[in-house]
């Protein structure tokens, strides 16, 4: 692939053009008119995925920032249109472009058509969201990042509010208000960066320029705080997580996948890219507090998940716990933690997406998401039950499935940072086993708790399309569980560069070997 062509811009443009084209497709009452946007959406998202994979294959793992493009955008304020791809961006780019076609396929007939609404809007907004999310992960300019960061909210708002269950409109407002508040806090930080950059001479928003900027301790901490709070709302972390469960409960499963597995990653991505990348000293200053917040999120999210009676809400709350792990890995500031958290972002995306989608299949069949009204699915729909179990086991970090590797690395990182932090984090593994297995037991096994006609109604098993949508996720979870090397190879150089920038001297630089050993030995003892 020649580096002369603006591949990354094309990568952003393909889904964007696809979104506009989908919105302009003919509408009507005829059945085939409804199929067309779905097909177009799937083709466009697969083309994007193909392009992303092609980029990944020609990506040089030790090459730093690649395929970079930089053009002046708003000269007066030093903003550029700058995109580039590095290890961190590549991982999230692949996750995003993989999940979009899966979501479209899983939502094939459940959104639009059945509820009398045309699928144009759903497919269009999903593609628009993909374009914005891809741009977020490629942005190499803080101003451009901020713009696309906020731009993801509009499609997300319409996806949550327009297609969910009753009460989705309220959830959409709660979601949007939380996110916009975070966005405005971030705006304060972005403006602060401009002021610092302008005071040093020529104002510029390029990350490469800002990284070399020498900011006084006071302002640096304030700007760091603005960035961190905004990303904590996005991620989300305790105590600004309350929008998460409401949104996942009310939105369609496909929307939840995009929100939790793609958009929320922007929060942790931003912590790595901006908090650690631009404000290393302030990051070290804030580490103790952030670690505590992360630990609270881990335990609190797991406890909330155990207590909830709504399956979709439960899945949302497990993510609170998982994001706690990711943030813990980022802020313990060592290679194990850093590598683990980036892998965690990928693996959490795979596992949680599978959970949301399979859970969505179940809820659609039974017409309720209340765990107390579910049950007895195992006999009539073994494939559905099996997939839910696999996804659940991945969520709780069973060795042999990909999440284990990342969770293990983060835990090692936490122990290296401070033993007490590791001890607190480990409790979450027990709690995870409770919320996953107990939920599985109540929803899948035993007789259906609802008496009468509903109890006799056999839950139909999954169709081929539904299995096909989830299958890639399961395959990847198993593959990366046994052989995480490709992902580690991409992530490691990035983490080493980052930690060198933060100024952390690390005792254990040979992470890949550790990780592989860890995975292998744990399997042996299992």
Partner 1 sequence: MEFSAPQIAHEVLWPAYVVFGAALLGVLAEAFLPRGRRFGGQVVIAALGIVGGLVGTVMVAMDLPSVGPDDVTAYGVTTVGDTVAVDGPTLFLWGLVLLLGLGGVGLFAERRLESGLSAFAGQAAALPGTEAERKASTEGLDHTEVYPLLLFALAGMMLFPAANDLLTLFVALEVLSLPLYLLCGLARRRRLLSQEAAMKYFLLGAFSSGFVIYGIALVYGFAGSMSYAAVAEAVRAGESGSVLMLTGLGMITVGMLFKVGAVPFHAWTPDVYQGAPTAVTAFMSAATKVAAFGATLRLFYVAFGGERWSWQPMLWIVAILTMLVGAVLAVSQQDVKRMLAYSSIAHTGFLLTGVIGLRDSVELGGAEITSLQAVLFYLVTYAFATLGSFALVSVVRDDSGEVTALSRWAGLGRRSPVVASVFALFLLSMAGIPLTAGFVGKWSVFAVAVSAGAWPVVVVALASSMIAVYFYVRVILLMYFTADPDPTKAGSTDVGVGGDAALAGASPSSGSQPERGTITVTSPTRVADEVRVETPSLATVVVIAVCAGVVLLLGIVPGPVLDLAGSVGTFIR
* Binding range to partner 1, per CB under 8 A, among 47-55, 152-160, 249-257, 494-502: 152-160
The answer to whether residue 141 forms part of the interface with partner 1 (CB under 8 A) is no
Q: State the minimum distance, in angstroms, from the CB of residue 280 to partner 1.
A: 23
Q: State the minimum distance, in angstroms, from the CB of residue 169 to partner 1.
A: 4
Q: Assign residue 69 a region: left if phi > 0, alpha if psi is -120 to 50, beta otherwise?
A: beta
Q: How far is CA 494 from CA 166, 260, 372, 459, 464, in A?
A: 44, 24, 46, 47, 39
The answer to whether residue 213 forms part of the interface with partner 1 (CB under 8 A) is no
The answer to whether residue 21 forms part of the interface with partner 1 (CB under 8 A) is no
CB 357 within 8 A of CB 102: yes
Per-residue contact track with partner 1, 232 to 271, x per CB under 8 A?
----------------------------------------
Q: How far is CA 85 from CA 58, 59, 68, 306, 525, in A?
A: 11, 9, 7, 39, 39
Rounded Cα gap, residues 247 and 313, in angstroms: 8
The answer to whether residue 154 forms part of the interface with partner 1 (CB under 8 A) is yes
CB 130 within 8 A of CB 493: no
The answer to whether residue 185 forms part of the interface with partner 1 (CB under 8 A) is yes
**CB of 126 or CB of 193, closer to partner 1:** 193
The DSSP call for residue 371 is G
φ and ψ of 417, to 5 deg: -65, -55
The answer to whether residue 124 forms part of the interface with partner 1 (CB under 8 A) is no
Q: State the minimum distance, in angstroms, from the CB of residue 153 to partner 1.
A: 8
Q: State the minimum distance, in angstroms, from the CB of residue 341 to partner 1.
A: 28
Concatenating the DSSP letter of every residue in 141-191 gives BHHHHHHHHHHTHHHHHHHHHHHSSTTHHHHHHHHHHHHHHHHHHHHHHHH
Q: End-to-end CA distance of the chain, in Å? A: 44
Task: Provide the pairing of β-strand 66-74 with 79-85.
Answer: antiparallel
Q: Which of 15, 34, 112, 203 binds partner 1 (CB under 8 A)?
A: 203
The answer to whether residue 78 forms part of the interface with partner 1 (CB under 8 A) is yes
The answer to whether residue 150 forms part of the interface with partner 1 (CB under 8 A) is yes
The answer to whether residue 180 forms part of the interface with partner 1 (CB under 8 A) is yes
CA angle 469, 112, 470 (to 5 degrees): 10
Q: Which of 1, 10, 43, 198 binds partner 1 (CB under 8 A)?
A: 198
Q: Which of 114, 177, 418, 430 binds partner 1 (CB under 8 A)?
A: 177
The answer to whether residue 24 forms part of the interface with partner 1 (CB under 8 A) is no
Q: Which residues bind partner 1 (CB under 8 A)?
A: 73-78, 146-151, 153-154, 157-158, 161-162, 168-169, 172-173, 176-177, 180-181, 184-185, 187-188, 190-192, 194-195, 198-199, 201-203
């Amino acid at each position: 692939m020649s580096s002369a062509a603006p591949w990354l811009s094309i990568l952003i443009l393909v889904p964007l053009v696809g979104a506009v084209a989908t919105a302009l497709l003919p509408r009507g009452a005829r059945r085939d008119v409804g199929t067309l946007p779905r097909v177009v959406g799937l083709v466009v998202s697969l083309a994007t995925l193909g392009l992303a994979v092609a980029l990944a294959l020609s990506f040089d793992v030790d090459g730093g920032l690649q395929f970079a493009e930089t053009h002046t955008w708003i000269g007066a304020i030093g903003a550029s249109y700058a995109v580039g791809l590095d290890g961190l961006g590549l991982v999230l780019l692949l996750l995003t472009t993989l999940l979009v076609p899966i979501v479209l396929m899983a939502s094939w007939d459940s959104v639009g058509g059945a509820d009398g609404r045309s699928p144009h809007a759903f497919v269009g907004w999903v593609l628009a969201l993909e374009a914005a999310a891809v741009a977020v992960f490629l942005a190499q300019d803080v101003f451009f990042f901020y713009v696309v960061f906020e731009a993801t909210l509009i499609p997300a708002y319409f996806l949550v509010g327009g297609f969910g269950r009753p009460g989705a409109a309220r959830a959409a407002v709660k979601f949007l208000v939380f996110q916009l508040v975070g966005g405005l806090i971030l705006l304060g930080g972005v403006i602060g960066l401009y002021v610092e950059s302008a005071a040093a001479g020529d104002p510029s928003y390029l990350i490469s320029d800002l990284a070399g900027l020498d900011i006084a301790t006071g302002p640096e901490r304030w700007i760091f705080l603005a960035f961190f709070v905004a990303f904590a709302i996005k991620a989300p972390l305790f105590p600004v997580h309350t929008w998460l469960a409401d949104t996942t409960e009310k939105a369609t499963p496909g929307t939840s996948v995009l929100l939790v597995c793609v958009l929320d990653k922007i929060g942790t991505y931003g912590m790595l890219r901006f908090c650690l990348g631009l404000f290393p000293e302030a990051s070290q200053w804030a580490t103790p507090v952030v670690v505590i917040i992360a630990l609270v999120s881990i335990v609190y999210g797991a406890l909330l998940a155990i207590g909830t009676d709504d399956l979709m809400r439960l899945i949302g709350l497990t993510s609170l716990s998982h994001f706690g792990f990711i943030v813990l890995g980022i802020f313990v500031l060592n290679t194990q933690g850093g590598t683990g958290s980036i892998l965690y972002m990928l693996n959490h995306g795979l596992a949680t997406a599978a959970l949301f989608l399979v859970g969505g299949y179940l809820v659609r069949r039974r017409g309720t998401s209340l765990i107390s009204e579910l049950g007895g699915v195992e006999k009539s729909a073994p494939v559905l039950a099996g997939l839910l179990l696999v996804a659940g086991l991945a969520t709780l970090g069973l060795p042999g499935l990909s999440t284990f590797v990342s969770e293990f690395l983060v835990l090692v990182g936490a122990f290296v940072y401070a033993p007490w932090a590791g001890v607190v984090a480990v409790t979450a593994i027990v709690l995870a086993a409770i919320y996953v297995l107990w939920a599985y037991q109540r929803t899948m096994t035993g007789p259906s708790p609802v008496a009468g006609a509903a109890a006799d109604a056999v839950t139909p098993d999954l169709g081929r399309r539904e299995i096909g949508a989830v299958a890639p996720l399961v395959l990847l979870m198993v593959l990366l569980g046994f052989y995480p090397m490709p992902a580690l190879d991409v992530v490691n150089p990035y983490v080493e560069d980052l930690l060198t920038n933060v100024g952390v001297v690390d005792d254990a630089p040979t992470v890949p070997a550790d990780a592989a050993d860890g995975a292998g030995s744990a399997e042996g003892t299992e």
